[in-house]
Structure 1
Amino acid sequence: MQLLNEPLILVFVILCLGSWIGQIKLKGLSLGSAGVLLIGMIFGHFGYQVSPIIQDFGLSLFIVAIGLQAGPRFFRMIRSKGAIFGIIALVIVLAAGITTIIVTKVFQISPALSVGLMSGALTSTPGLAAALQATNDPLASVGYGIAYPFGVLAVVLFVQLLPRFTKVDLKKDLQEANDPIKTNLSPEMAKVVVTNPTLHKKTLKQLKLHKNSIVISRVIRNKQTMIALSDTVILLGDKLVAIGEKEKLDKFTDFIGEKIEMDLENPDNIHLRKITVEAENVIGKTLKELKLRRKYGATVTRIVRNGIELRQNPNMPLIRGDVLTVVSTEDRLEEIEKFFAKKKLTVTNVHIFSLSIILIVGILLGMVPFHLPGLGTIQLGIAGGPLFVALIVGHFGKLGPIHVRYYGPANHVIQELGLVLFLAGAGTMAGQGLVEVIQTEGLKLVLAGMIITILPIIVGYLIAKRLFKLSIVHALGSLSGGMTSTPALGALNQLIDSEDPAIAYAAAYPFALIFVAVASQLVVFFL
């Protein structure tokens, strides 16, 4: 046991045993990364302590990885009807916060334990990080560890059992109910004949279509189809195939001429192909920077990211995994596919300079005090500061010398490494008082954690289903995201063969991450 006094040996023993425990499945459920927290608590009970520096280092890596992953989606969803999922996440966290305050008063639980219970009930590690920052008390980790198992189990059971009890046809319900993401974000196609005399002999570039996010994929003239390029000249009577948001597409049609009905056939020389963005040298670049029309005579008509079809924006940075619908000739498409393909022996490169800048600025921001009227002074801390900065940088992808579009597998590695280092430290801190707390308040804490878990689940589902009229699939997907429960998403995916659960989960998840981190600090003030 003398070897465990060596700090690095202690850390890796906890990680080894914790990851092993986390992989053990019981009826399809496992602790996952929380296994590290459990083993850390055991070691902490026997007097072992992971260095706070290692814990804070892990926390900062984990939080930045979360922010960079959520950034591209977070701000885009705020600007669209997809913000409905943000509202659902807010309601869930708000319900959890209010329930926590009431339960704390009724059961007379300490603030640190209560906020930890809330973070565990919502299975939110960033929430735990914020709770530790706000309370400076390791009991928050004890509360998290007590509430976490039921927090995971409750959402998974709710997702699995609700469709069985309601006996609803999920696919039929999905088609008939409100779909705020696809109805809002999916571009439409229109065939338009040019009748405006002022446009005769104008080039497509002169129409400034990018300002309205309209894309012309083809120009049809005298039964001959041409690929639409910036310097393509249009004439009266030409038929244009336009893609864009419905409202803007209608205005564009009124300006150009009038809609027509026609069968769209692909001539032998023009083809459509879906191409996935993988190459390191294109990640983070925009369609405007890549100049595909000029270099390859090709037009990108659609971009699908994480299952969601995006509005066209030539200035939007591409990320790994984006699926582009490209129109061009067969030989050009072959070239473009190679251009976007992952190069052999390419190493996923983490830009240490960028990562360091984000961490420095984020930690400094976290130290700045903000005065909230009636609540006192609050700091974003090591959790909130880097998260806020990472969200902004993740949204833009590149700010001056800082670029973060190397993420993908690399982001997952950083996130997992940071998470387990943080949980190892938080676990050993919590373990020092674990047994005493359970002996004196064990049953009371378990009951409190169950209440804090169940009420937000019910409230979140009812808001999604009754207020926003979402399908059961979208309601449960947004509930899984609002509760930050990946196992629940996995259970939902087993019920229906569709990408919709993941879309709803991904839309609510980043909002929930932010709200839980903020709520963990605000609840402390009310307590």
Structure 2
Amino acid sequence: MCKVRIPGEAISVGILLKRSQSPIIDCFTIYITNVATMELLRNLFEGYPNLWGGGVAHSVLVLSLVIAFGIILGKVKVAGISLGVTWILFVGIVFGHFNLNLNEHLLHFLKEFGLILFVYSIGLQVGPGFFSAFRKGGLTLNMLAVLAVFVSVLTTVLLHFLTDIPITTMVGILSGAVTNTPGLGAAQQANSDLTGVDAPEIALGYAVAYPLGVIGCILSLLALKYLFRIDAGREEAEAECGLGHQQELTVSPVSVEIRNEAIDGKQIKEAKPLLNRAFVISRIRHHGGNGEAELASADTVLHVGDEILFIADPKDVEAIIAFLGKRITVEWEKVDKKLISRRFLITKPELNGKSLAQLKIRKNFGASITRVNRSGVDLVAAPNLQLQMGDRVTVVGSELAMGHAEKVLGNSLKRLNHPNLIPIFLGIALGCILGSIPFMFPGIPQPVKLGLAGGPLIVSILISRFGPRYKLITYTTMSANLMIREIGISLFLACVGLGAGKGFVDTIIHEGGYVWIAYGAIITVVPLLIAGMVGRYFWKLNYFTLIGVLSGSNTNPPALAYSSELTSCDAPAVGYATVYPLTMFLRVLTAQMLILALG
């Protein structure tokens, strides 16, 4: 009897023999193919649950199937709501329940490495706008997010003492209730450092509370809408007009007629220090002139009756108008068609970390940079503002000047698509070092470590914000950032699910795990309602900005998606992005502190 034990060879032989039209050879071909199939299946399931006898092939197969099935299920929506990549966790639990698992050491490594990739990519994205959020009116919004975090932690502690549920389980429920995966990772690592063993109940609590954490957040936002009797049309109009604290989060161009005689005859560089506000005058039309607009420079002389266009932070606009004269409406594009406005990308590496003044665009080409957009945030183009790779600058000038400016700035998408791996791996290394440094806090017997969740997160924020000052190119395309993030979170959730799957069903059925769902709902809803009422009644926040902040305080992308569907304005996204970095950091830190203080 002919027997080929290697499936690949058997299939190859079958393909070669299949070229013949002889019935005998055809039968032999079918036999060989069947042997190959049976050999493949035998090798696959022999020694179950160790597929292919265990080893690397088994681990890759199980991990790939968990992630693939989880992503497929994540695309399913019920009532417009999807759990997204969290399905990977649940698929991992199913595989773990049937004992389809990975090697313990490999499982631990992939879980931690996935977590590092996830939090580091988040830090790279939010870092450039992290500190500016506080300077540009985001302090109020971040204070509200801090309140929501504090109330959720307080609620968790109260439930811990009232129910005698172990703090490890309660922290897992907390992380699931606020849909914060890095907090889960930080809690697991803190417990491992404290006890020397993993605590599967943390992941079990997270998995049980997560689904209602998503749904409960959305229902809370709806409840606030009816509680406040929101007029959606009015709130949207206010948000679009810049009311409700959203106006402080981006720069605004304003036209003004000079009325202040104190600055009559003064150069712009002489007049600006009198006000001590940050603004840029980009265009001017002189009173009594030929009616054409021209670019303004530091040496341009101002006269009463001149019309100017300036760009400033909204919080400074009224003070600047009061100082200069009165607001007017001018269609600058029609005043002088010789001046055009275009946006260019900073793509030349040698410009990374240089200030606007060092470019000498105005002196060399007669053009002016009026604003800089960085990570979705518009910045005033002050002379000392340092540029970063990926910045999008608005340039005003003639058609000829635009061509010269484009050559200086780069404006090449191809250059931006080139990966910059040095800051990623250097930052991860520094993050691991920072995460291993112990910090002592009063009342906590064990030192607190930022861990592999907090350390890389802080380092990535700092590198993305301050790296260009030291000529370090930190720009990463959004698609590359999302790819790293999704791979990281997929690896982490798959490993967490596989590790927790063995005891999941017993916990729910026999150990009262179903009660955890109710506790998770309390942790989800109570902080959101309290923070929502404070934000609305005390800080008078616009409703759409408010629900964006509340979604961000729970780091809840499905809630943000739902909030964005309620309005055509970007207020929810602005609120979410403003509080997300600080909230993420606090969720990671508080999860660890709860374990170390009460564990």
TM normalised by structure 2 equals: 0.78
Q: Which of residues 477, 480, 485 in structure 1 aligns to 2:548?
A: 477
Q: Which of residues 330, 336, 343 in structure 2 aligns to 1:275?
A: 343
Residue 58 of structure 1 corresponds to 114
Q: Which of residues 313, 321, 330 in structure 2 aligns to 1:264?
A: 330
| 45-54 or 446-455, larger mean C-alpha shift | 45-54
| 328-337 or 211-220, larger mean C-alpha shift | 328-337
The answer to whether the 8 Å contact 2:345/2:410 transfers is yes
1:223 Cα offset (Å):
2.0
Instruction: Map Cα deviations across residues 253-297 of structure 1 (whole Å, 9 max, x no partner).
Output: 89xx85256663533344343526374757776534544323432
Distance 1:205 1:56 in 2: 56
Distance 1:297 1:356 in 2: 41
The 1:289–1:437 alpha-carbon spacing in structure 2 relative to 1, beyond 3 Å, is: farther
1:500 Cα offset (Å):
1.0
3-state SS of 2:113 partner: helix
3-state SS of 1:432 partner: helix
The answer to whether the 8 Å contact 1:194/1:235 transfers is no
Residue 460 of structure 1 corresponds to 531
The within-5 A match list for 1:383-402 is 383-402=453-472
The answer to whether the 8 Å contact 1:47/1:432 transfers is no
1:347 Cα offset (Å):
6.5
Question: Does 1:95 pair with 2:158?
Answer: no
Question: Does 1:48 pair with 2:73?
Answer: no
The answer to whether the 8 Å contact 2:128/2:374 transfers is no
The within-5 A match list for 1:151-166 is 151-160=213-222, 162-163=224-225
Q: Which of residues 212, 216, 230 in structure 2 aligns to 1:150?
A: 212
Residue 449 of structure 1 corresponds to 520
Residue 422 of structure 1 corresponds to 492
Distance 1:28 1:520 in 2: 30
TM normalised by structure 1 equals: 0.88
The within-5 A match list for 1:158-307 is 158-160=220-222, 162-163=224-225, 167-175=229-237, 179-183=244-248, 185-187=250-252, 189=254, 190-192=256-258, 195=261, 204=269, 212-221=277-286, 222-224=288-290, 225=292, 227-228=294-295, 230=297, 232-234=299-301, 239=306, 241=308, 242-245=310-313, 258-259=324-325, 264-266=330-332, 267-273=335-341, 275=343, 277=345, 279=347, 286-304=355-373
Distance 1:345 1:243 in 2: 31
1:43 Cα offset (Å):
2.4
3-state SS of 1:141 partner: helix
Instruction: Map Cα deviations across residues 431-486 of structure 1 (whole Å, 9 max, x no partner).
Output: 23323322312222112111111112211211211221112111111111111111
Instruction: Map Cα deviations across residues 482-501 of structure 1 (whole Å, 9 max, x no partner).
Output: 11111111111211111111
Question: Does 1:513 pair with 2:580?
Answer: no
Number of residue pairs aligned between Structure 1 and Structure 2: 524
Distance 1:95 1:387 in 2: 23
The 1:516–1:260 alpha-carbon spacing in structure 2 relative to 1, beyond 3 Å, is: closer
Instruction: Map Cα deviations across residues 85-110 of structure 1 (whole Å, 9 max, x no partner).
Output: 11111111111111111112222222
3-state SS of 1:473 partner: helix
RMSD: 3.3
Distance 1:79 1:398 in 2: 20
1:378 Cα offset (Å):
0.6
Distance 2:314 2:576 in 1: 26
The 1:260–1:467 alpha-carbon spacing in structure 2 relative to 1, beyond 3 Å, is: closer
The answer to whether the 8 Å contact 1:59/1:418 transfers is yes
The within-5 A match list for 1:124-139 is 124-136=180-192, 137-139=199-201
| 178-187 or 113-122, larger mean C-alpha shift | 178-187
Q: Which of residues 3, 8, 11 in structure 1 aligns to 2:63?
A: 11
The within-5 A match list for 1:485-504 is 485-504=556-575
| Residue type of the alignment partner of 1:433 | G
Q: Which of residues 76, 86, 94 in structure 1 aligns to 2:132?
A: 76
Distance 1:323 1:401 in 2: 18
| 238-247 or 58-67, larger mean C-alpha shift | 238-247
| Residue type of the alignment partner of 1:437 | T
Residue 203 of structure 2 corresponds to 141
The answer to whether the 8 Å contact 1:113/1:140 transfers is yes
1:317 Cα offset (Å):
4.9
The 1:420–1:284 alpha-carbon spacing in structure 2 relative to 1, beyond 3 Å, is: farther
| Residue type of the alignment partner of 2:501 | G
The answer to whether the 8 Å contact 2:416/2:477 transfers is no
The within-5 A match list for 1:405-416 is 405-416=475-486
Residue 371 of structure 1 corresponds to 440
The answer to whether the 8 Å contact 2:432/2:451 transfers is yes
| 370-379 or 347-356, larger mean C-alpha shift | 347-356
Instruction: Map Cα deviations across residues 17-58 of structure 1 (whole Å, 9 max, x no partner).
Output: 221222222222222111111122222231513532222111
Higher relative contact order (CA 8 A, sep 6+): 1
Distance 1:198 1:470 in 2: 40
Greater radius of gyration (CA): 2
Distance 1:41 1:247 in 2: 51
3-state SS of 2:179 partner: coil
| 401-410 or 62-71, larger mean C-alpha shift | 401-410
Residue 67 of structure 1 corresponds to 123
The 1:245–1:352 alpha-carbon spacing in structure 2 relative to 1, beyond 3 Å, is: closer
Distance 1:265 1:443 in 2: 63
Among the aligned pairs, what percent are the same residue?
28
